[in-house]
DNA sequence: CATTATGTAGACAGGTCTGTCTATTGTCAA
DNA sequence: TTGACAATAGACAGACCTGTCTACATAATG
């Protein structure tokens, strides 16, 4: 490899970093490869040497995002709470923090699935896999809480998560995360979880 | 006006009809004006005489969809149920029917907001207004049910609706509507509504 | 030093898209 | 009939986009 004078970060990583920011901020359709190479300070041929096409770059970006999300999300949940039910609820606190980030623009996977339209697009496949991975992760939390009908409860909680993400994006309103948390807590209590609902309403 | 020989339907309506199908099926970004005029059998200048630009056509399409939705949705809910709580729950049965339509591809307003990116786009404004109209309509149902904290309950129910719509789209899974309905029923019961949950699980 | 691999810079082809323009046709009303 | 209006067909400019190509520069390795 040729460590360029301008930067010692590998070319592929620089491309992915620039693509990540631009794709998320403006959508995959509104960002051309010319802007990605300009932002990353890379030659166009380098981009096409590392990625077969723009569609392949989109898929690679989503895969990288998915990888990061799986590890970061799991680690954060486990660091913020130990009780199984608390871990489910703390997910919504994390969502609120995410929604409050100034550059928040919704879920990259949902947004990309909408833009890519066709489910045979490699990027769409990654988005779908991410969606199922979210379900699977929440399911581990619900299973740990040993509540009845774990699959149903998990699906309902993920619907609240996705709904909150979409509404927070379109309305630019981070507070919906708290409403989603309240709803999730109600579902948990109805399933028999030992949660103090009064305490939730306060903070 | 000049009623064309090929059709007596006004030109503007033919343009909107073609745009509606194409925009919804493939997304506003993936459909060019050339395809709209080909599908509607209209001259390009006619399109630009009726709509200032493609962006204006997108906004007009969304406004028309919003108008139709407001009247159709309200009428259907009121026709399918009379009890306030039943009316809230029947919304999710309607969602399921919608999700099962072969051409279902999610919510046109959410999808368009994602594609248009910028909240100052006229189409984005219509999508946002539609989102708030949904909230307002559900709020009337919740108010009719005379339950405590109507705004919170309404927000939580709309989160379930939006979440179900997004997940149904990305997974092509209409069954999530039933999970959303179940969650909504649990929330209603927790709020004191007189609902038989066992009956819900059956159908 | 020489070779090989990697990256750079930028031109370029071929396609698509929006929006404009012109010339022509058809329809209604006075 | 005639003039005003609406719609048609299609060419066109200008911009943008993807992906390829060439010529050159740089770095590590044998």
Å between A117 CA and nearest CA of chain B:
6
Per-residue pLDDT of B124-150, as tens digits, reads 999 999 999 999 999 999 999 999 999
- Whether B203 has a pLDDT exceeding 70, the answer reads no
Can you tell me the mean pLDDT for B58-84?
97
**CATH architecture assigned to B63-202:** Orthogonal Bundle (1.10)
Cα torsion angle, A123, A128, A132, A135, sign: positive
Can you tell me the mean pLDDT for A188-195?
94
- Whether A201 has a pLDDT exceeding 80, the answer reads no
- Whether A193 has a pLDDT exceeding 60, the answer reads yes
Q: What is the pLDDT of residue A151?
A: 98
Cα torsion angle, A114, A120, A121, A124, sign: positive
CB-based contact A29:B117 (threshold 8 Å): no
Per-residue pLDDT of A37-53, as tens digits, reads 999 999 999 999 999 99
To probe the interface with A, which of B23, B119, B159 has the most A CB atoms within 10 Å?
B159
For chain A, the structural domain boundaries read 1-51, 63-202
Confidence grade of residue A198 (pLDDT, cut at 50, 70, 90): low
Per-residue pLDDT of A82-129, as tens digits, reads 999 999 999 999 999 999 999 999 999 999 999 999 999 999 999 999
- Whether B107 has a pLDDT exceeding 90, the answer reads yes
Q: What is the pLDDT of residue A199?
A: 64
Å between A161 CA and nearest CA of chain B:
7
- Whether B202 has a pLDDT exceeding 90, the answer reads no
Burial of A91-115, coded b for 16+ CB within 10 Å and e otherwise, reads bbbebbeebeeeebbbbbbbbbbbb
Mean pLDDT of chain A: 94
Quick check: A128 and B170 CB within 8 A? yes
Mean pLDDT of chain B: 94
| pTM for this model (two decimals) | 0.95
Q: Hey, what CATH topology would domain B1-51 get?
A: Arc Repressor Mutant, subunit A (1.10.10)
Q: What is the pLDDT of residue A8?
A: 76
Confidence grade of residue A4 (pLDDT, cut at 50, 70, 90): very low
Q: What percent of chain A has pLDDT over 70?
A: 94
Q: What is the pLDDT of residue A116?
A: 98
Confidence grade of residue A196 (pLDDT, cut at 50, 70, 90): confident
SS3 state of residue B42:
coil
Q: What is the pLDDT of residue B183?
A: 98
- Whether B108 has a pLDDT exceeding 50, the answer reads yes
Q: What is the pLDDT of residue B2?
A: 41
Q: CA distances (Å), A119 to each of A60, A115, B14, B22, in order?
A: 16, 11, 29, 17
Q: What percent of chain A has pLDDT over 90?
A: 91
Quick check: B152 and A182 CB within 8 A? yes
Closest C-alpha to B86, from B142, B133, B43: B142
Q: Which of residues 82-141 of A touch B (CB under 8 A)?
A: 105-106, 109-111, 113-115, 117, 119, 127-128, 131-132
Distance (Å) from CA B12 to C1' D8?
Answer: 15
Quick check: A183 and B113 CB within 8 A? no
Q: Is strand C in 7 Å reach of the CB of A170?
A: no
d(CA B67, CA B55): 18
- Whether A1 has a pLDDT exceeding 60, the answer reads no
Q: How far is CA A127 from the centre of its chain?
A: 10
């Amino acid at each position: 490899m040729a460590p360029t004078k301008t930067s010692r970060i590998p070319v592929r990583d620089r491309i992915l970093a620039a693509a990540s920011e631009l794709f998320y901020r403006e959508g995959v359709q509104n960002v051309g490869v010319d802007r990605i190479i300009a932002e990353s300070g890379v030659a166009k041929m380098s981009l096409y040497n590392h990625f077969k096409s723009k569609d392949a770059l989109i898929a690679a970006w989503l895969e990288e995002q998915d990888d990061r999300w799986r590890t970061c999300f799991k680690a954060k949940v486990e660091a913020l709470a130990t009780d199984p039910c608390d871990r489910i609820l703390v997910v919504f606190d994390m969502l609120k923090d995410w929604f409050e980030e100034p550059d928040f623009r919704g879920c990259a996977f949902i947004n990309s699935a909408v833009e890519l339209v066709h489910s045979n697009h490699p990027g769409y496949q990654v988005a779908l896999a991410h969606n199922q991975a979210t379900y699977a992760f929440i399911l581990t939390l619900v299973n740990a809480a040993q509540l009845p009908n774990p699959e149903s409860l998990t699906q309902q909680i993920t619907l609240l998560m996705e709904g909150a993400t979409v509404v927070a994006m379109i309305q630019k309103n981070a507070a919906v995360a708290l409403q989603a948390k309240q709803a999730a807590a109600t579902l948990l209590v109805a399933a028999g979880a030992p949660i103090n609902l009064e305490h939730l309403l306060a903070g």
